[in-house]
Structure 1
C-alpha cells in the first residue's frame, strides 16, 4: 500500500509539471504575435475591467506593481493594449484593449473551453461523494503548499 501511495504522489507531481508546462507555452491566440501566459492573463484582466489602472491591475492579478510596466509595454508594442490618461487626472494611466487585444482574449477563452472540457468531463462523471472527497483533498493540498511557502 505504501508503494501505491508513493506512485500516486509521483503521478500528482507529473500532472502538476505537465499542467504548468502546457500553460507556459506561448500561443498566438488569433493574433500575429506569440503571447506568453503573463501577457494573455494581463489582457484578460484588462478586458474584464476596461479603464483599469496599473495599481488596480496589479492588485487584481496578485502581482507587484513593478512587474507590470514591462508586460504592459510589450502589449502596447504588440498593438493589443492602449493607455490613456484620465480626464482631469493626469496621474492615473488607464488601460484598455485594442481590437486585436479583444481577439486574443476571445481566442484565449476558446482555448480554455477546449482545454478545460476534457477535465470537466471527468469531474462531471464523479458522484457527489467522490466530488466532495476530491475537492477536500485539493483544498487541503493547496493549504499545505500555501503553508510551506510561508515557511520559506
Structure 2
C-alpha cells in the first residue's frame, strides 16, 4: 500500500504542476499572451454576467482586497476589466469584465473543456464514473482538511 500512496502523491503533485504549466503555455501561445495564469483565474472569478464587488471576488480567490486591487489595476490597464463605484455608497467598488475580458473568459473556459474531453477520451462510461467519484473524494478531503472555500461550492 505504501507504493500506491507514494505514487498517488507523486501523481497529484505532477498533475497540479502540469495543468498550471499547460495553462501558462496555452496563454502565451494564444491571443491572450499578455495574461498570466493568475490573471486569467482572476478574470474567471469576476465572471461573465454580473458586476461583482471587490470583496466578493477577493473572498472567492482567498486573497486580500489589497492584493486584488493590484491585480485589477493591471487588468484594467490591459483592457480586460472595468471598475465603478456605486452611487448609493461610493466606498463600494464594482468590477466587471470588458468585452475583451469576456472573450478571454470564454477562451479559457473552452481550453478547460477541451482538456477534460481529451483527458476522458478513450475511457468507457464506467471508468469515467469511477474517475469522477475518486476525484470528488480527493477534492472533498482537501476542502474539509484545509477548510477551503469555507463550505462554498
TM-score normalised to structure 1 length: 0.73
Consecutive unaligned residues of structure 1, counting only runs of 5 or more, are 148-152
Which stretches of structure 1, 4 residues or more, deviate above 6 A after TM superposition?
Answer: none
Count of matched residue positions in the alignment of Structure 1 and Structure 2: 145
**Equivalent position of 1:18 in the other structure:** 18
SS of the equivalent of 1:114 reads helix
1:126 and 2:139 correspond: no
1:108 is displaced (CA, Å) by 0.9
Consecutive unaligned residues of structure 2, counting only runs of 5 or more, are 148-153
Alignment check: 8 A CA contact 2:48 2:97 kept: no
Query: Over aligned residue pairs, what C-alpha RMSD do you find?
Result: 3.1
Alignment check: 8 A CA contact 1:25 1:36 kept: no
Ranked by relative contact order (alpha carbons within 8 Å, sequence separation 6 or more), the top structure is 1
Alignment check: 8 A CA contact 1:26 1:34 kept: no
Larger radius of gyration: 1
Of 53-62 and 12-21, deviating more is 12-21
Alignment check: 8 A CA contact 1:83 1:93 kept: yes
TM-score normalised to structure 2 length: 0.72
